[in-house]
Structure 1
């Protein structure tokens, strides 16, 4: 009986598992995405890139630059103050960014030229010495303010999540498996001071060379009074993971972590008192003194206190990204950073926040350029955006849809199409100023579209759906593909020869312009194919899952499997000319061939975001799009200079009445967007004579300030208003005549 019960239990589990696989396979047929990499980091935040790039491969990627968002779109995990009023931050792909002018311009570069690991923590000791550390035991140091970096020997491949330097030489790093190590020579050598091996240390704090604390899993807190030679366990009163610790002196400190945990101590950690805060996961906490503090975390949460944590208030922001770091230079100026490269700045102590990273937001699925300056990108929620300056700036166009677009194609600067979910096709004849939906005979998701000219085009999608038009899309006719397998990409090689590719290694071909189709399987591989391209009637290429690349040099009579050097899913491929080919995919994968697809080298893209589509005008310029609003541009000639952000006007209509005046005048101005303003009066010599507002928050609308000049001499004066939000300023002349 026991054996029979066990047998039935096994059969039941097998049936459930089989049903799960069947449902998963069906769901995949209608899946909104071709990639499964999007949420891998959330499931395992310590998962590292498994494929390391060589120095040459990284250097080959130096010609790729962030166009959107600006300054970059990699997730950021740690932030620190730089030069009192600047900041630096680190994140994915060993990315390091720095600003000294509150976000008007940025230094943005990989740290040490390897670009395959993830920085988890940064510590800017002074304007020259900056340390960073992260996954695979990576520790680096810069002695010139982040321009150049040196990899420091550490002797472990475990992730490092915490670091604290008290001067340029003395510091500690900590991470998984209870790793704690100390250096007294700037990282040249390390003395290991490990805790129990099962502790994952996530936060560290030292107030001098002797006194420090670390926090980690299961509410564990340890303190030292001898520089880490010995560590003593402290009772935090919680058993949830602690992520951050901050002390302002030997007695007063705070810890933060999962499940709404924020606790305070006033006796060096002997006891910890619960503080009332929203129940979310907190990733970082910071205090400038015993009263003013901030914490950030889940779904864009920011809270602040002005009384040491007795009461906390929630700040409102426009982001929902997880925030992973927060740092304040003083009680007013601070930054918060997080997933997707989000950067927030506050000039009023955290009451309000402005977003410094700018650009179009969304998950981009397709891109197409018709000149070196003009192109379009499409993606989720009906996004269609256009650039007329090679990607530096993008303008959202009204597609009239909220459905996802998967592909876009233009035959010239005016005429184009975009296709997507539920069989949607939209068409423009004026460069995208207006988009009109075209009627199609399907509700199947369309993944690919290509036109031979302004009249003849083909679109493909789920369950083998193929649509054909001979009149620019005025009518779309469904064609029999002789398959029910999802098709992901299509290319009209000539007006008669058309190729499409799809799941399970399927290729289908038409000899008559897309009316009749013949399936063609590649027996050597069954991986899903995501993208196909031809440079001539003979030479074509298709890419897909697990690094699959197949090549034909005889018009498809036979296909050969090429060695790609990666197991990542490849999602897009493009011939630039007969020799140069590019391919993109998961985890920022970027491949390049210079022999027509016969051999491939990996190139550092500068991101770990999923890359979904690409477009090239010639061998010197191309674009790649993907997840987290990613748009990258390739410039083979080099010489690219990142744009300086031009502050947008936040104040208008500055003036005074009467003018001339004696002795009183009313200064009036209009605020276009809520901002903290500083308003000053200057004499003809440029000397400040009065400050009418100092970092005062002004709401949208008209404002007036009365001022009496009785105590001043006759002459010319100037009133200047400076926006603390983006450093925009406006100045007007005043004339005082007695």
Structure 2
């Protein structure tokens, strides 16, 4: 397993898994409870993928390529384009989205893949960074955005064929410091100064595109930024009171004016006015939630650590625990065209939410730890994992 980055200065006991943008931390880096999440598996996958990339590693033993690799190693990952590899579809993939009739998947080391045949085959597209990418969204068939480690935000205007960088952690920290200085809030300024001092080591963990020019990104340590001009300018989004402890924000979902954010230590934020204002919801469980959904029936659903999944049918006033057969952390979710919610966990299981509140495992072949789900036409499902992309038949 690769070493995980230690807690940045001033954040002791709060290590966040993921691929660092600079030299890794010592192998003895500990994993506190808040770190036992979806990103731990993704970090593990990065090593597994590297270990199985025999051709690439063998190539690096050739003198000319070895010299190139040594030179590129000194270039910051935020400035170094992703390495081209034929093993992309079998590499660690973390997120996938539809762009018209295309699929666009992103993963470790800046990997971006495009499929024009519903995931039957994939082609790699150039990426301007080699940091891990954690989430991808499209506003329409052409315009999309991907986010990831190092505070990177990438954008495409041609269905994933080409990408350009909109933001990184260095600029994000500077923007937050400027905003804090203008606000005169001592706590906000202290936090922003810490971000600047830490450098670009904070990942974005999810992204939303409410409109073609609207971007909302959330991530580690409560970071949240918004842009309403396609990434030309950015502003601090969530209010300090929304997340006073600066807890990690793992997932953001939207259905019309309803927005839902799920995060660390039971953090669930809900907005009914298009993300203008949020209120914190209280749940019976205070463990971390790594995914969320807003089903068409108006309910709210969050799922995460140790197989905990909760649903509310009254706007978050009360919550019901969903029955799951195994206490294994949920890592991803999706909604089928008929509205049925699917959940994936670290055991490689895909479970369907039944009408009676049970989470029923689907009869699928054994899978590695799953990172993302995407329902496809014809009762097919695309599952991403530490071993790449796989099409599965739901057989209903």
Aligned position for 1:593: 312
Aligned position for 1:499: 216
Q: Distance in 1 between matches of 2:283 and 2:328?
A: 19
**3-state SS in 1 of match to 2:207:** strand
TM-score between both structures, scaled by the size of structure 1? 0.34
**3-state SS in 2 of match to 1:455:** coil
- Given that residues 8 and 15 in structure 2 are in contact (C-alpha distance below 8 angstroms), is that contact kept between their aligned partners in structure 1? no
Which stretches in structure 1 are left out of the alignment for 5+ residues?
1-16, 40-362, 366-377, 383-397, 646-738
User: In the TM superposition, what are the counterparts of 1:218-367 in structure 2 within 5 Å?
Assistant: none
Bigger RCO (CA 8 Å, 6+ sep): 2
Aligned position for 1:406: 94
Q: Structure 1 residues 641 and 401 mapped into 2: Cα distance closer, same or farther (>3 Å)?
A: closer
Aligned position for 1:30: 19
Q: Structure 1 residues 22 and 503 mapped into 2: Cα distance closer, same or farther (>3 Å)?
A: closer
> Larger % of helix: which?
2
- Given that residues 448 and 490 in structure 1 are in contact (C-alpha distance below 8 angstroms), is that contact kept between their aligned partners in structure 2? yes
- Given that residues 364 and 626 in structure 1 are in contact (C-alpha distance below 8 angstroms), is that contact kept between their aligned partners in structure 2? no
Aligned position for 1:574: 293
- What is the CA distance between 1:380 and its match in structure 2? 9.0
Matched, 1:529 2:246: no
- What is the CA distance between 1:492 and its match in structure 2? 1.2
Aligned residues: 277
Q: Distance in 1 between matches of 2:362 and 2:237?
A: 46
TM-score between both structures, scaled by the size of structure 2? 0.61
String of CA shifts for 1:230-264, please: whole Å, max 9, x gaps: xxxxxxxxxxxxxxxxxxxxxxxxxxxxxxxxxxx
Q: Distance in 1 between matches of 2:262 and 2:312?
A: 13
- What is the CA distance between 1:594 and its match in structure 2? 1.6
Aligned position for 1:461: 148
Q: Distance in 2 between matches of 1:487 and 1:423?
A: 13
- What is the CA distance between 1:22 and its match in structure 2? 6.7
String of CA shifts for 1:605-636, please: whole Å, max 9, x gaps: 22211111100126752211121212112232
String of CA shifts for 1:488-510, please: whole Å, max 9, x gaps: 00111122222221112222112
Matched, 1:511 2:228: yes
- What is the CA distance between 1:463 and its match in structure 2? 2.4
Q: Structure 1 residues 582 and 644 mapped into 2: Cα distance closer, same or farther (>3 Å)?
A: closer
**3-state SS in 2 of match to 1:493:** strand
Aligned position for 1:657: none
Aligned position for 1:420: 107
Aligned position for 1:552: 271
Q: Distance in 1 between matches of 2:361 and 2:331?
A: 25
Q: Distance in 2 between matches of 1:446 and 1:587?
A: 25
String of CA shifts for 1:185-214, please: whole Å, max 9, x gaps: xxxxxxxxxxxxxxxxxxxxxxxxxxxxxx
- What is the CA distance between 1:601 and its match in structure 2? 2.4
Aligned position for 1:433: 120
Considering only aligned residues, what root-mean-square deviation do their CA atoms show, in Å? 3.7
- Given that residues 417 and 426 in structure 1 are in contact (C-alpha distance below 8 angstroms), is that contact kept between their aligned partners in structure 2? yes
Q: Distance in 2 between matches of 1:488 and 1:435?
A: 24
Q: Structure 1 residues 432 and 512 mapped into 2: Cα distance closer, same or farther (>3 Å)?
A: same
Q: Structure 1 residues 597 and 446 mapped into 2: Cα distance closer, same or farther (>3 Å)?
A: farther
- Given that residues 580 and 596 in structure 1 are in contact (C-alpha distance below 8 angstroms), is that contact kept between their aligned partners in structure 2? yes
String of CA shifts for 1:672-724, please: whole Å, max 9, x gaps: xxxxxxxxxxxxxxxxxxxxxxxxxxxxxxxxxxxxxxxxxxxxxxxxxxxxx
- What is the CA distance between 1:637 and its match in structure 2? 7.6
